[in-house]
Amino acid sequence: MAPEGGAAISRALVEQIVRDVVTKRLGSPDGHGPSKLVVHPSARHMHVCREHLDVLFGPGHELTPERELYQEGNFAAAETVTLIGPRSRVIPNLRILGPLRQKSQIELAFTDAIALGLDNVPVRLSGDTGGTPGAYVMGPKGMVELHEGVIRAAMHVHMNPAEAEYYGVKQGDVMKLRVGGDAGVVFDRVHVRIDPASRLNVHMDTDEANACALHLARDIELISEKRGER
């Protein structure tokens, strides 16, 4: 409650205070604050290890970058594979994302997984593939059996340490993402992933993007539960 009869302050002073606060919160022109929040839907894709790329595309094959992704160094490759699930259902033209990883991993939306005949795909953070379903992957030079590695990626936000400080979050925290519009949704479990090379960027899958009508969304807000407590 505002105290009654407080001292009047000029509009100019209020504006100066607002400017100071906003500059502090959103970062100064030297670039040390958070950048604009960008939300990307990730279509189904594969990350591939050296050994599997050799089998799928031939020994020593190198991925051909076709399109740079928002996170520096990441790219959509020209290479695609065919994914074969149980009961011989297939997903053709599954895009490989580069660069190479230590472990192969396939990220599907549940709609994809169900179409492929996999009804036990868990929601996991990238890299956490223990005990997940496998699949057969076919490339132009050979077939690989993945014993595990098919996941639905948990929604996550990439940010650099300055942005993490701005939001008051640390690695492994969970934030909320509110997407307004006719199909307004609040995603309650957006996992924080901090890296000095990262750009502020939420990754959701196509089911999530379609559920919240991301392409029609009028306003989007990344919310830290902790921030209100500061």
- Closer to a second copy by Cβ: residue 160 or 224: 224
Give least dist CB 104 to a second copy, A.
22
Q: What are the CA-CA distances from residue 117 to residues 16, 113, 228 (Å)?
A: 60, 6, 43
Give least dist CB 20 to a second copy, A.
33
Residue 221's nearest CA partner among 205, 206, 199, 200 is 200
Q: What are the CA-CA distances from residue 103 to residues 50, 52, 109, 171, 230 (Å)?
A: 9, 9, 20, 22, 39
Candidates 162, 213, 220, 223; binder of a second copy (CB under 8 A) is 213
- The residue range among 19-27, 104-112, 158-166, 219-227 that interacts with a second copy, by the rule CB under 8 A, is 104-112
DSSP alpha helix (H) spans, the chain: 11-26, 50-57, 110-116, 161-167, 206-211
Query: Cβ distance 17 to 10 under 8 Å?
Result: no
Give the x/- contact pattern for a second copy in 147-186, rule: CB under 8 A: -----x-xx----------------------x-x-xxxxx
Give least dist CB 2 to a second copy, A.
20
Residues 48-67 binding a second copy (CB under 8 A) are none
Phi, psi at residue 8, to the nearest 5°?
Answer: -75, 140
- The residue range among 2-10, 62-70, 158-166, 207-215 that interacts with a second copy, by the rule CB under 8 A, is 207-215
Cα(98)–Cα(67) distance, integer angstroms: 10
Count of C-beta atoms within a 10 Å radius of residue 27: 16
- Closer to a second copy by Cβ: residue 36 or 215: 215
- Closer to a second copy by Cβ: residue 167 or 187: 187
Give least dist CB 162 to a second copy, A.
28
Residues that bind a second copy (CB under 8 A): 109-111, 114, 119, 122-123, 152, 154-155, 178, 180, 182-189, 205-208, 210-213, 215-216
